[in-house]
């Protein structure tokens, strides 16, 4: 009897510690999460969504934890047509339209190059994963499959970017270059910069494609996956399959990659988008999203080896 009492007491202490650790009862958390999914399903039915939602690993985090792409952190450069903000103050700068390339692909569908889906965890380093993913994609297009370090960008950039947000870090791929994941593993933290890893791949160029569908298609076909931004809402976070059309016209908060397209999907076509929330999210880490939905394509850019 005494042993049973002690065992029950230990179980109670463990349970109380689990609740105290984040202040939320795990059972209550599951109930609240299911209620959120039920509400999203009802909204989707009312609005005619062409995708499904459900509980997935990304939902253990808040959207601010996952999505920390911050356009206001991009430093001003009068020679760059894509500058939207001055770094200090976030004052809006009217962009000069980027001309659409003349040799735009004409295919109705195309699947390009990409590397394995990664998982940024609770660190808002989507900007680093988008940058690294674009460079890895271009390397793969050139016959080189490799795994480059996102943590090096998070820890060693000199712009103050980290888990609290950042911008596309193409300049760091151009100089000094990228280091290997095996030398600088991902920790999902704002750890201090560690020296000693060689810069094994250095980009030779970087450019913008324009936000328009034709320009982004050109970038994907010629350079590999294109880095872009998008606005993430609750429906996006809970996405499990289908073509996402739960669009909202709000400021972008997340950086991802566009790897292909299919003009037959959605209202007028859809992008094949690679995320950085692990393979348990979406369609094994990917999403089909309608052209222009939730500003997908903002700041579209590429890297070249």
Catalytic residues: 126, 254, 275
What is the full DSSP assignment across 82-150? T--B-TTT--B-PPPPPPPPTT----SEEE-------B-TTS--HHHHHHHHHHHHHHHHTT----B-H
User: What is the 8-class DSSP label of residue 203?
Assistant: -
Please answer whether residues 210 and 99 qualify as being in contact, where contact means their C-beta atoms are separated by less than 8 angstroms.
yes
Please answer whether residues 110 and 219 qualify as being in contact, where contact means their C-beta atoms are separated by less than 8 angstroms.
no
Query: How far are the Cα atoms of 26, 61, 62, 125, 187 from residue 122, in angstroms, in the given order?
Result: 18, 6, 8, 9, 10
Structural tokens at position 295: 């500003």
Closest by Cα among 191, 299, 214, 283 to 244: 283
Report the 10 Å Cβ neighbour count for 256.
29
Structural tokens at position 294: 């939730």
CA–CA dist 151, 186 (Å, integer): 5
CA–CA dist 181, 159 (Å, integer): 21
Please answer whether residues 127 and 109 qualify as being in contact, where contact means their C-beta atoms are separated by less than 8 angstroms.
no
Please answer whether residues 253 and 69 qualify as being in contact, where contact means their C-beta atoms are separated by less than 8 angstroms.
yes
CA–CA dist 110, 214 (Å, integer): 13
CA–CA dist 228, 245 (Å, integer): 17
The length of the chain, given as a count of residues: 305
User: What is the 8-class DSSP label of residue 191?
Assistant: P
């Amino acid at each position: 009897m005494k042993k049973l009492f002690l065992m029950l007491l230990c179980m109670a202490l463990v349970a109380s510690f689990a609740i105290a650790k984040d202040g939320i009862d795990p059972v209550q958390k599951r109930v609240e999460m299911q209620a959120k999914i039920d509400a999203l399903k009802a909204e989707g039915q009312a609005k005619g969504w062409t995708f499904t939602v459900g509980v997935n690993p990304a939902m253990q985090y808040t959207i601010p934890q996952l999505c920390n792409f911050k356009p206001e952190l991009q430093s001003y450069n009068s020679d760059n047509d894509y500058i939207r903000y001055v770094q200090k103050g976030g004052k809006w700068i009217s962009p000069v339209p980027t001309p659409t390339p003349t040799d735009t692909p004409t295919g109705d569908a195309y699947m390009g190059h990409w590397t394995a889906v990664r998982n940024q965890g609770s660190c808002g380093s989507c900007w680093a994963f988008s940058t690294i993913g674009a460079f890895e994609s271009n390397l793969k297009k050139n016959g080189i499959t490799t795994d480059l370090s996102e943590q090096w960008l998070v820890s060693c950039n000199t712009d103050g970017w980290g888990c609290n947000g950042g911008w596309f870090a193409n300049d760091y791929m151009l100089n000094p270059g990228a280091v290997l994941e095996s030398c600088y593993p991902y920790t999902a933290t704002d750890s201090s910069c560690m020296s000693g890893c060689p810069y094994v791949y250095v980009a030779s160029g970087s450019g913008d494609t324009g936000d328009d569908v034709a320009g982004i298609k050109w970038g994907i076909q010629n350079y590999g996956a294109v880095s872009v931004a998008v606005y993430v809402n609750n429906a996006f976070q809970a996405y499990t399959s289908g073509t996402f059309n739960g669009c909202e016209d709000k400021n972008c908060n997340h950086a991802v990659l566009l790897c292909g397209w299919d003009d037959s999907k959605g209202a007028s076509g859809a992008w094949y988008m690679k995320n950085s929330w692990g393979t348990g999210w979406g369609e094994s880490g990917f999403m089909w999203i309608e052209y222009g939905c939730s500003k997908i394509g903002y700041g579209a850019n590429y890297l070249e080896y």
